Structures are given as structure tokens and as C-alpha cells.
Amino acid sequence: DSGVTQTPKHLITATGQRVTLRCSPRSGDLSVYWYQQSLDQGLQFLIQYYNGEERAKGNILERFSAQQFPDLHSELNLSSLELGDSALYFCASSPGGSSNQPQHFGDGTRLSIL
């Protein structure tokens, strides 16, 4: 058990809809990272938050947004969903702001767009 909790585990929705994925980091970790994993693209970094502030941005679409709350949990919002957004979305956390500190991953949210 990595200590990182992601909810929900599975999400099925339709094109054009909006969903929110939730992540609780390991106790004491200040950084949260979001990744998208698909068969054709592999594991792609989306965005990092550190202690409530955006720290780094990767290949995140404008339709996607994230935030980290004062209690350090984070949410990833995906809107105007398209078929191609179907993927596994992982959250990871680490103690500090360095992205190459060991990142502890949750078990992901599997998003299926019908």
C-alpha cells in the first residue's frame, strides 16, 4: 500500500461530460502529481502541485484543470470529455517539491468514455 488514495477507481461517462478525480497524498507529502496512462502514449505527466501552488506543467490539455486544497488533497477536473480521454489517471505524491524525489503512486482511476 503506497499510502496514496485515489477515488473513484472506475468512472464511466459519455462524451461532452465533466468529471472530477480525487487524490489524497501520503501523510506528510506536500507534492501531488497527476499522470495519464494510455496504451499508445504511455505514462504522461500532466501537472504537479506543491503545498497548494502549481509547480510544474506537462502535457495537460486546456480542458483539464487541477487544484490542491489546504488539506493537501488534490482534484483533477476533466471537461468536454472526448473518446480519446479514456485512460488510467494516476496521482502520485512526494515529500518535497523536487519532481525526482521518489514518487509514490496511487492505484489510479480508470476513466472510460462511451
Least distance to another protein, CB of residue 17, Å: 24
Least distance to another protein, CB of residue 28, Å: 17
Least distance to another protein, CB of residue 56, Å: 5
C-beta closer to another protein: residue 66 or 92:
92
Which stretches of the chain bind another protein, using CB under 8 A? 2, 4, 42-45, 48, 55-56, 58, 90, 92, 97-108
Measure Cα distances from 112 to 19, 26, 59, 64 in Å: 11, 26, 20, 16
- Residue reference for cell 506543467: 57
